[in-house]
């Protein structure tokens, strides 16, 4: 199979960068970051995992992008993916399959026009690229095009397909623990919180203090044990135990968060953040 280069285009997606590169390296022969001016830790992460970076500050138009990819010693096939908030990691295998088909140019546009219109009649300057899979010949033809041209004006001998960018079809997948249970999502969010003592410790302290005060002031006001006094007593005990439990949860989550950060800082020899 001819070589495939996967180009991740975007900026400021440090939280997703590692998973995107790992997945892309499983599917392609080379992974490149086409950086659009990141100001977060994206470039630093790329350096740590040996991902080559191309700085790009020109217009995000297909002819300009094709010219940039050609200058970078293009592989036999290139797949350019625009990493946006709508892009999902599960969409990458589908795009790789499109890149490995016998298309010289396979791309998807995101435009303000109706999806019923012909995407091959859309000018490059009027569309935002969603993904572009092209061979060397396809990139060469695209690089010679003008920004006001349309895909219909490409060379006749090329195999070209242009689509409107649409959401990927929903496929039934196995759910992970984090998505299968709302409680698991809440627990994961608590682990990611930087201040669990504020979320659980302070409410727990308030409940414990209220329960302690009620146990001395309210229960002593009953002269005999009946259905009402027993109910009030159980409620006071429940409030006190809830406060104690909340304080314990806050303390445990705070300690676990510190341990997770320490493990992450040592994993793969990553330096600690100052």
Cα dihedral across residues 206, 208, 211, 217: positive or negative: negative
Using DSSP, state whether 265 is helix, strand or coil: helix
CATH class name, domain 4-164: alpha beta
Using DSSP, state whether 142 is helix, strand or coil: helix
Instruction: Answer whether 0.85 is exceeded by the pTM.
Output: no
Res 143 pLDDT > 60? yes
Quick: pLDDT tens for 101-123.
888 999 988 765 555 668 888 88
Mean pLDDT value across the chain? 79
**Residue that is written with structure tokens 């975007």 in the block:** 10
Q: How confident is the model at residue 99 (pLDDT cuts 50, 70, 90)?
A: confident
Quick: pLDDT tens for 161-195.
988 876 555 555 555 544 556 656 655 655 555 56
Q: How confident is the model at residue 274 (pLDDT cuts 50, 70, 90)?
A: very low
Res 43 pLDDT > 90? yes
Per-residue model confidence (pLDDT) at position 102? 82
- The closest alpha carbon to 67, from 134, 162, 10, 165, belongs to 134
Residue ranges of domains in the chain:
4-164, 177-269
Q: How confident is the model at residue 18 (pLDDT cuts 50, 70, 90)?
A: very high
Work out the average pLDDT over 31-45.
93
Per-residue model confidence (pLDDT) at position 226? 65
Per-residue model confidence (pLDDT) at position 178? 46
In angstroms, the CA 115 to CA 163 distance is 9
């Amino acid at each position: 199979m001819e070589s495939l280069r996967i180009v991740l285009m975007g900026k400021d997606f440090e939280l997703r960068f590692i998973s995107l590169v790992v997945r892309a390296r499983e599917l392609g022969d080379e992974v490149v970051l086409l950086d659009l001016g990141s100001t977060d830790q994206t470039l630093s992460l790329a350096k740590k995992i040996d991902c080559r970076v191309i700085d790009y500050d020109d217009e995000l138009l297909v002819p300009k992008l094709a010219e940039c990819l050609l200058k970078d010693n293009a592989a036999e096939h290139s797949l350019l993916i625009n990493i946006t908030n709508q892009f999902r990691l599960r969409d990458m295998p589908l795009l790789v399959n499109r890149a490995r088909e016998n298309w010289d140019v396979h791309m998807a546009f995101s435009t303000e026009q109706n999806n019923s219109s012909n995407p091959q009649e859309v000018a490059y300057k009027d569309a935002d690229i969603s993904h572009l899979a092209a061979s060397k010949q396809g990139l060469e033809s695209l690089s010679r095009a003008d920004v006001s041209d349309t895909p219909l004006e490409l060379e006749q001998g090329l195999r070209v397909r242009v689509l409107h960018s649409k959401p990927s079809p929903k496929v039934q997948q196995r759910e992970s623990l984090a998505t299968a249970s709302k409680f698991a999502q809440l627990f994961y969010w608590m682990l990611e919180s930087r201040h669990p003592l504020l979320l659980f410790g302070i409410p727990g302290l308030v409940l414990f203090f209220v329960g302690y005060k009620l146990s001395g002031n309210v229960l002593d006001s009953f002269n005999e044990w009946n259905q009402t006094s027993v109910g009030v007593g159980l409620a006071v005990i429940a409030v006190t135990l809830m406060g104690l439990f909340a304080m314990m949860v806050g303390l445990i989550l705070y300690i676990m968060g510190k341990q997770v950060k320490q493990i992450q800082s040592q994993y793969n020899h990553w330096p600690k953040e100052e």
